[in-house]
A and B are shown apart, each in its own frame.
Chain A
């Protein structure tokens, strides 16, 4: 069994200590107020799905958690520590926060295996042999062990995204961020990626997932956060949210994504 992270079972109960804490987070793009007083706590081992209309600030929220976007107000704590400014400390923190992008962003000039071993070798200073062994285990686990020697452009979208998940897992992150990991994929490839993510969730990984995949939310998440216009409008369990949303804004949004 591959060690994929810290958290352990016990989900749904809030016995676990908080891992990611956002307090009064604010963010502007020029005049545009994209994150408005965001307060959110994600416990260790918890899986949170962020859902909401386009332009609502979901990506920005996700990216601010590993400071790909700097915030201009409030605090973000990861495992009790405040996000550092630019520099080495920030790089070290980012290594603990895995990120999976909509467009995969595999390193185009490196093989799949090299994509997965680069971080462990250069950031964690793991030896090559050990890094490759762990990388192969991860690639087997996400079902693309046979593709290790290929370049990203030679893989299908679903395979690339699974490679990107393996690359993030190789850093043994404390928490994984996913920003619409399946929305650039052809429908037949969505499942293979969601299956990997569901397994990960059931193994206790702490995950923050921006997605509109309700099946995944119901199967894997303990919490759904509905975001619109830069605010958290609703926060509840998946069942409650999808069957019995409290706000008009959320019901309106759900009716739109349910009708097609």
Chain B
């Protein structure tokens, strides 16, 4: 019974655990940036005056939202990287990292786009009309007037998308980039046997990442709210 709560192994392997979480953080941070950019592109397509772009935006978002991440990651690493030999780098771990980032960014971008589109819908039509009436082009008014207000109104939902993304690093980790935290946990379980303390150690590690992120986005969304 005492062994069930013996955290010695956790402390003995703290360096490995820390390194693996650092890999998770690097994966999540770069993915956060890329998925925001890509998601903004899809959302802009979906409100564009050009029907072709609107069609592309809708198609891509629906395709990505309805594809399991495991499949997408496996497609990237097996089909694109292993079979078609699209390599980001000759070093396997670097290549795996970038394919994991790619799969997760592309996947997450669909959810960013959906959140953002909801945000765009909260911006009163008059804002866009005023922007056009002073001579801003569609792109300028999107960039300077619509998107800044849309972002501020969906910081909360975007936070949820990013937290889900942090948890999804475990999936792309398992498929493409086996050095982040969840993969390290599996490796340690394999070497030392699965123990509750080790499991708790990793679970706490994820909470340390996601909880502050949640509080941060909550705080930010209050701070950035647009008064009307």
Contact = CB atoms under 8 A, between A and B. Distances in A.
Interface string A68-103: 100000000000000000111001111111110101
Give the size category of B's interface with A: 20 to 34
B227 A154 contact: yes
Nearest to A95: B135
Contacts of B129: 68, 99, 101, 105
Nearest to B224: A109
Contacts of A94: 132-135
A91 B228 contact: no
Interface string B106-136: 0000000000000000001011011111111
B140 A107 contact: no
B150 to A, nearest CB: 10
Interface stretch (A117-125, A200-208, A227-235): A117-125
Given A101-B126, A153-B228, A109 B132 contact: no
B130 A107 contact: yes
A112 B226 CA distance: 14
Contacts of A91: 132, 135-137
A95 B134 CA distance: 5
A167 B135 CA distance: 12
Interface string B62-96: 00000000000000000000000000000000000
Interface string A104-148: 011111000000001100110000000000000000000000000
A242 interface: no
Contacts of A123: 134-136
A88 B132 CA distance: 11
B140 A122 contact: yes
B226 A108 contact: yes
A122 B145 CA distance: 12
B20 interface: no
B140 A108 contact: no
A88 B135 CA distance: 9
Given A118-B144, A122-B144, A106 B130 contact: yes
A118 B134 contact: yes
Contacts of A153: 227-228
Contact of B152 (A93, A101, A109): A109
A151 interface: yes
B49 interface: yes
Given A118-B144, A122-B144, A151-B227, A68 B133 contact: yes
Nearest to A102: B126
B201 interface: no
B148 interface: yes
A97 B149 contact: no
A109 B153 CA distance: 11
B134 A171 contact: yes
Interface in B183-204: none
Contacts of B132: 68, 91, 94
B49 A105 contact: no
A119 B226 CA distance: 21
Nearest to B50: A86
Contacts of B130: 99, 101, 105-107, 164, 167
A66 interface: yes
Given A68-B132, A109-B226, A153-B227, 6 more contacts: A66-B133, A103-B126, A105-B126, A105-B127, A122-B136, A122-B144
A-B pairs with the 9 shortest C-beta distances?
A: A95-B135, A153-B227, A119-B134, A105-B126, A105-B130, A99-B133, A123-B135, A94-B135, A91-B137
Interface of B: 49, 124, 126-127, 129-137, 140, 144-145, 148-149, 152, 226-228
